[in-house]
Chains A and B, each alone.
Chain A
Amino acid sequence: MTGAVTLAIFVVMTVFAIRYRAGSPADRAHPPAQNRWVETAWIVAPLAIFLAFFAWAAVVYAGFYTRRDGAMTVYVVGKQWMWKVEHANGRREIDELHLPVGEPVHLLLSTQDAIHSFYVPAFRIKQDAVPGRYTSLWFTPTREGEYRLSCAEYCGTDHARMGGRVVVLSPPAFAEWLQKGNQNAPLAARGFELFRRKGCSGCHVNSTVHAPDLAGIFGRVVHLSDGRSLRADEAYLRDSILLPKRDVVAGYEPIMPSFQGQLSEDELAALVSYLKDTR
C-alpha cells in the first residue's frame, strides 16, 4: 500500500520531470497556483487511509498487552549480557527459552542492571526489560522450531552477543523437557519459604498487626487509601514489596518497611509466584 503510493508519487514526478523539461513542446498555459479541491482531496484521502492503518495496528498491539487467562508465565531476567529464564516448576535456563507450541505465554521481564530488550524477530515481538519494574507481553507460539533471540536495547560492551535461541517444542516434548536438567525447587515453594523467612507472614497472616491478608490477592480489585483502585497483577505485587508506600490499601496505615535492595530478582520472582498461587 505505502509502496504503491510511493511508487505513484515517483511515477508522477518522473512524468512531470520529462514532460515539462525545459525546451519540451508541452502545453504550459495557465499553471495553477492553487486548487482548493485537489488540496482538500489529498488531505482527506491519506487521513482516511492512515486512520485505518492506525486502528488495525493498535488492535494487534493491544493483543500483546492484554492479559490472557491461563497463559503460562515465564520469568525472564536480563543482565549484562545474558537472559536468565525460570519456569514455574523451577526449571532454569540461560540464553534459551523452551516453549510448548500452541500455548499462550506470558513473559514477565525484569533486569538486574541496564535496560535490555527481549526480541524474537521470527515472532515479531519485542519488549524492554526495565530496571525497577516488571514489564509483560503475551503471545502464542504457533510453529515448532528454533528461533533467534536477541537483545534489542543497547546495554553495554557485549550487547551484540546477548541472546540465544527460543525453542518451540510439541507439548509432550516440552513436558518432558521441563522435568530434566537444571532444576530448582518450584518457584512458588521457594516463595513460600521466603515469605516466612523474610518475615512477611508475621504481619500478613493471622497477625495482630494491621496488614491485609494476602490469600487470593492476585487478580482481585484492590481499593487504595487515596481513592484509586487497581487490579492486583505482578507489577503491583512487586511494587508493594519494594515501594510499599506507593499503593496503600484502603483502611491500612503505611507502616510496611521497604524491601528494596534486600531481595534479588530471583527471590522477587519466587515471592510473586507464591502470591499468585496462594488461596
Chain B
Amino acid sequence: MSYLEEGFSLRSWLTTNDHKRIAVLYMLAITGFFFLGGAAAAIMRLELATPAGDLVSAGTYNRLFTIHGVVMVWFFLIPSIPSVLGNFLVPIMIGAKDMAFPRLNLASWYIYVLGGIFTIAALIAGGVDTGWTFYTPYSTRFSDSNVLLVIAGVFIVGFSSILTGLNIIVTVHRLRAPGLTWFRLPLFIWANYATSLILLLATPVLAMTLTLVGLERFFGVGIFDPALGGDPLLFQHLFWFYSHPAVYIMVLPAMGVASEIIPCFARRPVFGYRMMAYAILGIASIGFLVWGHHMFVSGQSMYAGIVFSMLSFLVAIPSAIKVFNWTATLYKGSIVFSAPMLYALGFVGLFTIGGMTGLFLASLALDVHLTDTYFVIAHFHYIMVGGAVMAYLGGIHFWWPKISGRLYPEMLARIAALTIFFGFNLTFFPQYLLGWLGMPRRYHEYPPELQLLNVLSSAGAAVLAVGYLLPLMYLGWSLFFGKRASDNPWRATGLEWQTTSPPPKHNFEAEPVVTTGPYGYDPAR
C-alpha cells in the first residue's frame, strides 16, 4: 500500500508525520506562493512596458516589488528544493524510514504556514514598500507601511527553515542505511546537507536582525538609525551575512538536482564525484565570507571592499568546477533529451551565464557602475530563477513518478521546458543591457530611450508565464489521468528507484544495504 493510500481524509494529511506527505503539503503551499509572487511580477512587467508610470501608482509599484521579493525568496525559493524534494527524497535516498524528527518536520510546515498568514495579512492590510531588503533607516523610520507584520512573517518562516535544516542534518548523520558511507552518498544528499548547515547557521542572524528592526521601529531602540545613535551599515552587514548565504541555500540544492538528472540521462557516472562533493562544501563555507560584496558603494571601508572582492572571486572557483564537471559528464555519454534533462541542461546554461556575470559584479570598479541596476536584477534572476527554479522543475519532473505514481505527458513537458528557457532568456537578458545602460532597480518610471529593451523583457515575461502555467496544468492532469509509472521508469540508480512508485509509508519493505558508490551508469546499457 503506497503512502498516498494511507488515508484520504483532509485530517489524515494535516496530522501526518510521513515525510513524503509533508513534502506534498509543502509543494502545494509553495506553489500557491509562487503564483502569488509571479502575479506581482506580471503587474510590474506590464507597468514597465511604457516609460511613464501609468498603470499603477509609484506607491503600489513599490509594494509590488517588495511582495514579489519577500514571497519568492522566503516563501518559495528557500523552501523549494530542501523542503519539497529534500523532504521527500533525503530519507529514501539514504534508505531510512523517515526523517529523524517526523513531528518536528510537520511542525516546520505549520510554522511556514503561520509565517505565510502574517505575510498575506500584511498584503491585505495594504502591503509593504521597503523592498525585501528592509534597509534601515527607511524601514524603521520613514516607511508608513506594514513593516512589522511582514517582518513577523519572515521571522516566523525562518524557524521553519531552521527546523528543516536541523532535521536533514540529523537524518543524514544518523539514519544512513548499512554500507552507505559518506562518499557513497548521492550528490543530492551532499547538497541538501550543506544547505542545511547554512540554514542552521545563517537563519538565526536574520531572525535577530529583523527583531532589532522591529525593536527600533516600534520602541525606538537605537540600533541602526544614526538619529538614535545607531549605524545603518550595521544593518547591511547583518542582513547580507544571512542573505548572501541564502543564495547558496537556493542554488546548492539545485546543483544537487542537476547532479542526479544529468548522469541518469547521459547514462554515465558523474565526472569527478569527489571534487563535486568538495565543491559543494567549498561553496557553502566560502559563501559565508563574501557578504560585503553587496556593499562596495555603501560607504564601508575601501579595504573591506577589496577583501570581499577577492573572496567573491574565490567562491566562483568551486562553482566553475561544477559546471566543468557536468559538461565532462556528457562526454562519451548516451544522452536522452527527456524533459528533466532539458531542465537540467537549461539549469547549467543559465547558471553559467548568471555565474559569469557575477564575476562582473565581484570586480570592484565594474560593480560601482552596475550595482543597484538591472544588471544585478538579471544576474540574480539567472541564478535564482534560471538556476534554482529550472532545477526545481526538473526535479519535480524527474521524481514525479515516485511522488505521484504517474507519468507526466513527455511531449508537453519538453515543450514547457523549452518555452520556459526561451521566455526566461527573453525576459532577463535585456535586463543585463538595461543595467549596463544605467537603469537603476526599483524604478517605477524610466527614461524613454530604454523602452525597447523593457518591452522585450515584458514580452519575455508573458512567454515565461505560459511556460510556468503549462506544468501546473499537465501535472495536475496527470495526477488523475496520467499513465501509471513503473518503479524505475528512467532506469536510474539510487535507492529511491528500488522501492515502489509511490513508496510505501516506511519507504522500503526491507532495509536496503548499500555495497557500491552512486551513479553506476553505463552508456552501453
Jot down 20 A-B pairs with beta carbons below 8 A, ordered by A.
A12-B327, A16-B333, A20-B335, A33-B269, A33-B272, A43-B320, A50-B317, A53-B363, A57-B309, A58-B306, A80-B142, A115-B232, A121-B437, A152-B441, A154-B133, A155-B138, A156-B143, A157-B62, A160-B53, A161-B445
Count residues of chain A with CB under 8 A from any CB of chain B.
76
B59 touches A130 (CB 8 A): no
Please pick, from B227, B298, B359, the residue contacting A50 in the complex, using a CB distance under 8 A: B359
Instruction: Given A43-B317, A115-B138, answer yes or no on A130-B232 (Cβ-Cβ < 8 Å).
Output: yes
Residue from the list B53, B142, B369, B441 in contact with A124, Cβ < 8 A:
B369
User: Looking at chain A's contact residues, is the secondary structure mostly helix, strand, loop, or mixed?
Assistant: mixed
Q: Mark A96-135, 1 if CB is under 8 A from B, else 0.
A: 0000000000000000011101010110111110111101
**A220 within 8 A of partner (CB):** no
CA distance A119 to B231 in the complex (A): 23
B323 within 8 A of A: yes
For A147, the closest partner residue in chain B by CB is B438
With a CB–CB cut-off of 8 A, which chain A residues contact B335? 16-17, 20-22
Chain A residues with CB below 8 A from B154, complex form: none
The number of inter-chain residue pairs (CB within 8 angstroms) is 238
Closest to B443 in A: A160
User: Do B271 and A152 have beta carbons less than 8 Å apart?
Assistant: no
Do residues B359 and A61 form an inter-chain contact, with CB atoms below 8 A?
A: no
Give B331's nearest chain A residue, CB to CB. A16
Q: Which of B214-269 contact A (CB under 8 A)?
A: 225-227, 231-233, 266-269
* Contact yes or no, A17 B345, CB < 8 A: yes
Distance, CA A84 to CA B251, complexed state (A): 42
**Chain A proximity mask over B62-103: 1 for CB below 8 Å, otherwise 0:** 100000000000000000000000000000000000000000
Contact of B523 among A17, A31, A127, A157 (CB under 8 A): A31
Residues of B within 8 A of A131 (CB): 137, 225-227, 232
- Would A154 and B320 count as touching, CB distance under 8 A? no
**Beyond A32-B331, A159-B58, 13 additional pairs, beta carbon < 8 A:** A2-B360, A21-B334, A26-B332, A31-B333, A47-B317, A53-B313, A56-B363, A64-B368, A114-B137, A154-B62, A154-B138, A160-B58, A160-B442
Which residues in B have their C-beta under 8 angstroms from that of A159?
58, 62, 442-444
CA gap between A33 and B331 in the complex, in Å? 11
Is A113 a contact of B372 with CB atoms below 8 Å? Answer: no
Interface positions of B from 327 to 375, Cβ below 8 Å from A: 327-328, 330-337, 345, 348-349, 352-353, 356-357, 359-360, 362-369, 371-373
Contacts of A132 in B (CB 8 A): 226-227, 231-232
For B334, list chain A residues within 8 Å (CB). Answer: 20-23, 28
B438/A121 in contact, CB under 8 A: yes
Tell me if B452 is interfacial: C-beta within 8 Å of chain A.
Answer: no
Q: Which of A1-57 contact B (CB under 8 A)?
A: 2-3, 5-6, 9-10, 12-13, 16-17, 20-23, 26-35, 38-39, 42-43, 46-47, 50-51, 53-54, 56-57
CB-CB < 8 A to A65: which residues of B? 302
Mark contacts of A198-221 with chain B using CB atoms, 8 A cut-off: 1 yes-contact digit, 0 otherwise. 000000000000000000000000
Residues on A with beta carbons closer than 8 Å to the beta carbon of B321: 39, 42-43
Interface residue from B297, B306, B331, B362 paired with A31 (Cβ < 8 Å): B331
Contact of B372 among A13, A29, A64, A126 (CB under 8 A): A126
B58 touches A157 (CB 8 A): yes
Chain B nearest Cβ from A150, distance in angstroms? 5
Q: Which 10 A-B pairs have the closest CB atoms?
A: A121-B438, A132-B226, A61-B364, A60-B365, A57-B363, A16-B330, A114-B138, A50-B313, A31-B332, A160-B443
Q: B302, A130: Cβ atoms under 8 Å? A: no
Write out the residue numbers on chain A whose beta carbons fall within 8 Å of the beta carbon of B227: 131-132, 260-261
Asked if A153 is at the interface of the complex by the 8 Å CB criterion, the answer is: yes
CB nearest to A158 among chain B residues: B58
Q: Does B305 contact A (CB under 8 A)?
A: yes
Residues of B within 8 A of A261 (CB): 227
- Residue contact A61 to B298, C-beta cutoff 8 Å: no
State whether A39 touches B272 (Cβ < 8 A): yes
**Min CB–CB distance B351 → chain A (angstroms):** 11
Q: Is the CB of A150 within 8 A of B296?
A: no
Q: Which residues from A are CB-within-8-Å of B348?
A: 13
Question: Which of B131, B306, B310, B336 is the one whose CB lies under 8 Å from A62?
Answer: B306
B299 on the interface (CB 8 Å rule)?
A: yes
Interface string of A48-82 (1 = CB under 8 A from B): 00110110111111101100000000000000100
- In-complex Cβ contact of B327 among A9, A58, A153, A157 (8 A): A9
Question: Cβ of A269 < 8 Å from any Cβ of B?
Answer: no
Which A residues are in CB contact (< 8 Å) with B373?
A: 121, 152
Docked-complex contact B306 and A16, CB < 8 angstroms: no
The chain B residue sitting closest to A134, CB to CB, is B299
Bound: A179/B363 CA distance, A: 41
- A185–chain B nearest beta-carbon distance, Å: 28
Contacts A20-B332, A31-B268, A33-B269 known; A46 to B440 CB distance under 8 Å?
no
Contact of A34 among B266, B275, B309 (CB under 8 A): B275
Q: Among the listed A10, A17, A26, A51, which residue makes an inter-chain contact with B313, where contact means beta carbons less than 8 Å apart?
A: A51
Q: Which chain A residue lies CB-closest to B445?
A: A160
Contact at B316–A50, with CB atoms within 8 Å?
A: yes
**B225 (CB) vs chain A CBs: closest residue:** A131
Contacts of A20 in B (CB 8 A): 266, 330-335, 523
Contacts of A57 in B (CB 8 A): 309, 363-367
- Tell me if A248 is interfacial: C-beta within 8 Å of chain B: no
Contacts of B445 in A (CB 8 A): 160-161
